[in-house]
Amino acid sequence: MMVKFDYLKPKTEKELAVLLAKHADEAKLMAGGTDLLVLMRDKIFKPRYVIDIKDIPELRRLEYDEHRGLRIGAAVTLNEIIASKVIREKFTALWEAAGTLADVMIRNRATLAGNICNASPASDTAPALLVLDAEVEVKSERGERKIPIREFFKGVKKTALERGEFVKAIRVPNPPKGAKGSYLKWGRTKGEDLAVVGVAALVANSGKPAVCIALSSVAPTPILVPEVQNAFEGRGSTDEKIEKAAAAVVGKICPISDVRCCKEYRLHMAGVLTRRILKQLVGAS
């Protein structure tokens, strides 16, 4: 049986900020509710107030600017992201990651903002946002600020959001010209499942490759591995550099064993997926 709560539905950002300032310790925000309602059903969350943000027009905007890049409002659904031609062509890693999350019915409610605020180590969208160097726009009654996505995740189910703050939007800058991105997910089944390991990559080929790799399900938070770039410095064949990159990933991550698989298998698959995604983007024999 669901816990009892008061349902609030603000119409503006200002109204939302006021409600959070008043009820922050007893409230939960609902963007899509696909995680929140399950946690409430299981009595893990017992909020006195549920604040639905779906009717705030500013939070429903999905915008692209040639100079400033992409801006995804907190109430934009994953299916809206998948339907965007701009995201598919210019922000491919994010587009592919969104398509692996849950199923089409869930994605019709679930939001990108909700996915990152859930702060699951197994988040599919977080690695893509990490390699794309996104930032999170947040607001409260105290004002507004921007948090680099690299600083947003603080632990399992923990974010950098402070009391009374809510996410307005996720801003993603344009990737370098000619850059290629992708996301690969390894799960237990081909259907809906959390990632056993997820790997996102962005490669900009301008003379020598600039390579960025991030992973999920291999640490307490989604993790960026900047050491991968070192593997592509200096001499060696592309195959040798990819092997060095895979070794750098395996050396940086700290997976656990859980009900879905053991840590040894996660270590192995992190290397496999890193090789696979780099061969796809960089090219190798």
Q: What is the pLDDT of residues 241-266, one digit of tens each?
A: 999 999 999 999 999 999 999 999 99
- pLDDT, position 2: 82
Query: Please, which pLDDT band fits residue 205 given cuts at 50, 70 and 90?
Result: confident
d(CA 266, CA 208): 30
Q: Which CATH number among 2.170.190.11, 3.30.390.50, 3.40.1280.10, 3.40.50.970 corresponds to the domain 180-281?
A: 3.30.390.50
- The pTM of the full predicted model, rounded to 2 decimals, is 0.96
- pLDDT, position 234: 83
d(CA 169, CA 60): 9
- Say if residues 132 and 181 touch (Cβ distance below 8 Å): yes
Residue with tokens 């962005």: 202
Mean pLDDT across the chain: 95
Domain range annotation of the chain: 6-52, 57-172, 180-281
- pLDDT, position 207: 61
Instruction: Tell me which of 233 and 191 has the higher pLDDT.
Output: 233
Q: What is the CATH number of domain 57-172?
A: 3.30.465.10
pLDDT value at 187 more than 80: yes
Each residue's pLDDT tens digit, 65-95: 999 999 999 999 999 999 999 999 999 999 9
d(CA 22, CA 259): 39
CA atoms within 13 A on the CB side of 272: 12
Fold of 6-52: 3.30.43
d(CA 110, CA 274): 28
- pLDDT, position 191: 65
pLDDT value at 208 more than 70: no
Each residue's pLDDT tens digit, 113-165: 999 999 999 999 999 999 999 999 999 999 999 999 999 999 999 999 999 99
pLDDT value at 193 more than 70: yes
**What type of residue sits at position 171?**
R
Each residue's pLDDT tens digit, 24-71: 999 999 999 999 999 999 999 999 999 999 999 999 999 999 999 999
Element (H, E) at 155: strand 153-155
- Say if residues 170 and 112 touch (Cβ distance below 8 Å): yes
